[in-house]
Amino acid sequence: MDTIALMTVVCIGLVLLVGIVLFNTMVGRKNRVQFAFSGIDTQLKKRFDLIPNLIATVERYMQHEQQVLQQLASLRSQAVRGTTTTDDLVQMDNQLTSTLRSVFALSENYPQLRASENFIQLHGALNETEEQISAARRASNAAVTDYNNGCEMFPLSVVARMMG
């Protein structure tokens, strides 16, 4: 009877151990998704922080393009308020990307602006930030894919359902 009781305890212990490992695996994947998105958020904030410098540099040259500059300023102020949801942040990022493209396209009409040292540096900094945002998005996509695979593949799918 002692061996049967011992075997039962060992089996229960193994089941619990496997459950704990699976649970911790899913928690780790969920946390990697959150960490990866925070990387994107950090890079977006860095880009938003460059906007006032860009506006100040461009304003001197692009007097006739005030609507584009006001849109840039408005998007930045919305972003730095900090009350945005993830969906709002993604939408603002898309709008900002489009508006920045407009600014750089319009800068082609202003040779003095294109030759400005500040503009050249800001353009370089924004390009570097865009590359970092792309890298952060790739990392986020990989983390989300890993998490989703865990949610759909057995045996982690059982644990994922229990975790909600």
Tell me, what's the pLDDT at 84?
67
Tell me, what's the pLDDT at 64?
64
Tell me, what's the pLDDT at 144?
93
What's the DSSP call for residue 154? T
Determine contact, residues 102/109, Cβ cutoff 8 Å: no
Tell me, what's the pLDDT at 13?
93
Domain that holds residue 155: 2-163
Tell me, what's the pLDDT at 111?
80
Report the CATH number at residue 144: 1.20.1440.20
What's the pTM?
A: 0.73
Q: Output the six-digit token pair for 24.
A: 């911790």
Tell me, what's the pLDDT at 141?
93
For the chain, the straight-line distance linking the first and the last C-alpha, in angstroms and rounded, comes to: 40
Number of domains in the chain: 1
Tell me, what's the pLDDT at 1?
59
pLDDT mean for each 10 residues of the chain (164 residues): 86 92 91 92 87 81 74 80 74 84 81 79 87 92 92 84 81
